[in-house]
Amino acid sequence: MNGTMAASSSRIMLGPLVAAIDQGTSSTRFLVFNAKTAELLSHHQVEIKQSFPKEGWVEEDPKEILQSVYECMDRTCEKLTQLNIDISNIKAIGVTNQRETTLVWDKETGEPLYNAIVWLDLRTQSTVERLINKTPGKNKNHLKHKTGLPISTYFSAVKLRWLMDNVDKVHEAVLSHRAMFGTVDSWLIWCLTGGKNGGVHCTDVTNASRTMLFNIHSMEWDPELCTYFDIPMEILPRVRSSSEIYGLMKSGPLTGIPISGCLGDQSAALVGQMCFKDGQAKNTYGTGCFLLKNVGTKPVMSDHGLLTTVAYKLGREQPACYALEVIMMQRDQPFPLESLSPL
């Protein structure tokens, strides 16, 4: 008992702490680290339910995703308090998220207009075929020079197009200028910074680069790409760097703490492994298996099926760094990746 008390007492004087929201495909985690030593002090994890309305369809409840974040934050703060660690020492919160998963919500009510369509969902196959058929030579790589990506069910634009074509609530909200589109990071940051009461509608460059609406050279939403998918630019979040203050937490035990970092999950893993030099690579194993290689500040296009994506941009005035990516498999998912991966 005395040893436990001594250990916890020694942590009262900890320096600044940083926290991370890790919202993945199958679970959400909240983790708190010592900013100077990178020691993990406490964390909590909550599983996320997936639904499969039809064969090949994969959905998640946006409200459940958000609630899981709040639950993980609350439980982690409780654990820190039990360790006699002052949560006021948490100075910043970062967000990392399952990429490409697509949401649309009503900015006036704050309500999701449909479930989140998960990245590995296959319902958009007919949408993809229709889009490829209208390209010169029926070329799936028609947009690759701007996006670094093939036209595929994988990326967010075709999921958003499906929602606009097939969900009346989404169609009506777009027409009445109430719709907001985002990947999971955008949904979380908007909700955590106030939601319908002034929430910040933004994303970072790494998540934007997985939508097929983002020009990875100009680092902006591309009007021609939006026209190609017939998506109004007004529903898109503002694109920010991966490291800057987006807004402040507006509720819960961490109210007032800035949300100041955002990276899609695979880019976050690359940064977490400190692969900051051209040629350094990392592999991650989760719901999928991904290999990313840092290629530096100029995008490299592959002739062998690899994706070109934004790796990170660590500050408004910092250059973007790029990566080549290969997706090698999906766990327990019949996902056809031959169009994406040479392996």
The full set of domain ranges for the chain reads 17-329
Residue 336: its pLDDT value, please?
A: 42
Given the DSSP bridges, would you call strands 321-330 and 288-296 parallel, antiparallel or unpaired? antiparallel
Pick the CATH number of 17-329 from 3.50.50.60, 3.30.70.420, 3.30.420.40, 1.20.1290.10: 3.30.420.40
Q: 30 and 20 in contact (C-beta within 8 Å)?
A: yes
CA gyration radius for the chain?
A: 20
Q: What is the pLDDT of residue 251?
A: 87
Place of tokens 């399952």: 98
pLDDT tens, position by position, for the chain (343 residues)? 344 443 444 445 578 999 999 999 999 999 999 999 989 999 999 999 999 999 999 999 999 999 999 999 999 999 999 999 999 999 999 999 999 999 999 999 999 999 999 999 999 999 999 999 988 888 898 999 999 999 999 999 999 999 999 999 999 999 999 999 999 999 999 999 999 999 999 999 999 999 999 999 999 999 999 999 999 999 999 999 999 999 999 988 999 999 999 999 889 999 998 999 999 989 887 767 888 899 999 998 988 888 999 999 999 999 999 999 887 755 444 344 443 433 2
Structure confidence at residue 313 (pLDDT): 96
Q: Apex CA 326: angle with CA 325 and CA 328, to 5°?
A: 150
**DSSP 3-state of 103:** strand
Residue 91, Cβ neighbours under 10 Å: how many?
14
Is beta strand 17-23 parallel, antiparallel or unpaired with respect to 27-34? Answer: antiparallel
d(CA 279, CA 114): 41
pLDDT, position 329: 57
Q: How many CA atoms, within 13 angstroms, populate the side-chain half-sphere of residue 256?
A: 5
Those residues whose C-beta lies under 8 Å from the C-beta of residue 142, and which sit 6 or more positions away, are 132, 135, 136, 151
